[in-house]
Homo-oligomer: A and B are copies of this chain.
């Protein structure tokens, strides 16, 4: 059987998993490829570091040129994180004739237009299944399996760290900071979890999915985004009493020819499969105009689920499927019928509001008056008497609105903050 020589750049968690699958299961990958995907080189920074995989003699190197200058290596899994040197290395690899597999969502969300344009100029391909929801093959499903459809909406829980933290808060009643520390201890959260918990990681993944499904060319940091770093246990518990769970939800939906996009803690009715996603799992619900709703659930990250996605991409690239898909999808290309992100102020949603209000006559009338003046219709309002607020003479007030624009809610909240009747800023979350 013929060989196709492969290189891996970076032997971190994912790189190690990929090396294991290629080395320990060569029969499997060969069977699905019709030739042997042969691990020729693994490029690392530090040759002396202890590794959790036995790399054969002569394969490990700290010299990228051993890949760049080897014309027999055509397929490279570039598995280093961050923007630089990842970007420069990817460009160098493509310029020397390599097809690329990557798991680096930040790189694609920031430099996707440049990298994909350059790949097209050079006749190369970039496969990136592992960049979003490692254990769910969502890229292939949207980019290949649902091509008979116009995707009309995408909703996803795309960050396992956040979902683990929220699930633990829900189950234990403990505060965010306590659970974050536990998550760090268990390895579910990084030492610096900022990009996970502030929603940036989710927004970057949404950028990639929205480009794929809708052609939206939008910088990830322009997507309206709220993280879970300010999420309070009170809101999880009030939501629970109302029959909802809170999840960090990424949404992109087609409305009147534009794409409404957002990332934020969202109340989802119990029983909805997205509400039932537990722990470090991810899930995506895609709606297509022909297929209807399709729901996917799997591990969000982790060594072997992500390696599974990378190896599928390696097999697709060695067999030539990736190149076909890459050429036809025309991602980050003007040919990909680009749709625009809708102005957030005009998007219609239901909302959950919580504020700490002074417990005296007339307050309720003032608050409902502000909402009414801004055209916000109230579905329910619950004053949680007797709960311990920050000060004894105030009580928490929870309001669920009917569908309204984000602009109306934002205006109402800005008026609330000027009111003497309301302590601290209102908590505002969308309701699915």
List chain A positions with a Cβ less than 8 A from chain B. 17, 21, 25, 28-29, 31-34, 129, 135-137, 140-141, 144-150, 271, 273, 276, 288-299, 302, 304-305, 307-312, 315-316, 319-321, 324-325, 327-330, 336-337
Residues of B within 8 A of A321 (CB): 144, 321, 324-325
Question: Taking the nearest CB of chain B, how far is it from the CB of A138, in angstroms?
Answer: 9
CB distance from A133 to the nearest CB of B (A): 10
Task: List 12 additional A-B contacts (Cβ < 8 Å) besides A273-B297, A295-B297.
Answer: A21-B148, A29-B148, A34-B327, A140-B140, A140-B144, A141-B141, A148-B307, A293-B298, A293-B299, A319-B325, A319-B328, A320-B324
Whether A295 touches B292, Cβ cut-off 8 Å, given contacts A148-B311, A328-B32, is no
Residue contacts A-B, CB under 8 angstroms, 12 given: A31-B330, A32-B329, A140-B144, A147-B312, A149-B308, A271-B276, A273-B276, A291-B304, A291-B308, A295-B297, A297-B297, A319-B325
Q: Is A296's CB under 8 angstroms from B294's CB?
A: yes
Task: Look across to chain B and name the residue whose beta carbon is closest to the beta carbon of A136.
Answer: B294
A321 to B140, CA, bound (A): 12
Cβ contact of A299, chosen from B28, B271, B292, B297, cutoff 8 A: B292
CB distance from A248 to the nearest CB of B (A): 20
Query: Whose C-beta in chain B lies nearest to the C-beta of A299?
Result: B292
Q: Does A294 lie within 8 Å of B304, measured CB to CB?
A: no
Cβ-neighbour of A147 out of B32, B276, B328 (below 8 A): B32
Q: Which of A146, A288, A328 has the most CB of B within 10 A?
A: A328
The residue on B at minimum CB distance from A139 is B145
Q: How far is the CA of A315 from the CA of B321 in the complex (A)?
A: 13
Q: A137-B146, A147-B315 are in contact. Are A328 and B294 (CB under 8 A)?
A: no
Q: What residues of chain B lie closer than 8 Å to A294, measured between beta carbons?
A: 135-137, 296-298
User: Is there contact, CB below 8 Å, between A291 and B319?
Assistant: no
Minimum Cβ distance to chain B for residue A123 (Å): 14
Q: Is the CB of A308 within 8 A of B290?
A: yes
Query: How far is it, in angstroms, between the C-alpha of A288 and the C-alpha of B140 when the chains are bound?
Result: 17
Specify the chain B residue showing the minimal Cβ separation from A17.
B290
Which residues of chain B come closer than 8 Å to A311, judged between CB atoms? 147-148, 290
Docked pose: A271 CA to B324 CA in angstroms: 40
CB proximity of A14 to chain B, nearest CB, Å? 12
Tell me, in angstroms, the Cα distance from A327 to B309 when the chains sit together: 21
User: How far is it, in angstroms, between the C-alpha of A324 and the C-alpha of B35 when the chains are bound?
Assistant: 12
Taking the closest CB of chain B, its distance from the CB of A326, in whole angstroms, is 11
CA distance A302 to B288 in the complex (A): 14
Interchain CA distance A361-B152 in the complex, whole Å = 64
Contacts of A34 in B (CB 8 A): 327-328
Judging by beta carbons under 8 Å apart, are A145 and B312 in contact?
yes
Report yes or no: B328 in contact with A308, Cβ–Cβ below 8 A.
Answer: no
Residues in B with CB closer than 8 Å to A328 are 31-34, 319
A279 to chain B, nearest CB (A): 12
CB neighbours (8 Å) of A145 from chain B are 129, 137, 140-141, 312
A31 to chain B, nearest CB (A): 7
CB-contact partner of A292 in B137, B304, B320, under 8 A? B304
Q: Considering the chains assembled together, what is the distance between the CA atoms of A276 and B276 in angstroms?
A: 11
CA distance A302 to B294 in the complex (A): 14
Q: Which residues of B contact A141 (CB under 8 A)?
A: 137, 140-141, 145
Which of chain B's residues have a CB closer than 8 A to the CB of A292?
135, 298-299, 302, 304-305
In the complex, which residues of chain B have a beta carbon less than 8 angstroms from the beta carbon of A324?
Answer: 319-321
Bound complex: CA A303 to CA B329 (Å): 26
Query: Are A291 and B148 closer than 8 Å at their CB atoms?
Result: no
Hey, which chain B residues are within 8 Å of A33, CB to CB? 328
Query: In whole angstroms, what is the CA distance A336 to B28 when docked?
Result: 11
- A273 touches which one: B273, B302, B304 (CB < 8 A)? B273
Least Cβ distance of A135 to chain B in Å? Answer: 5
- Nearest B-chain residue to A140, judged by Cβ: B145
CB closest chain-B residue, reference A311: B148
| Interchain CA distance A157-B384 in the complex, whole Å | 44
- B residues near A144, Cβ cutoff 8 Å: 140, 312, 316, 321
Nearest chain B CB to A9's CB is how many angstroms away?
18
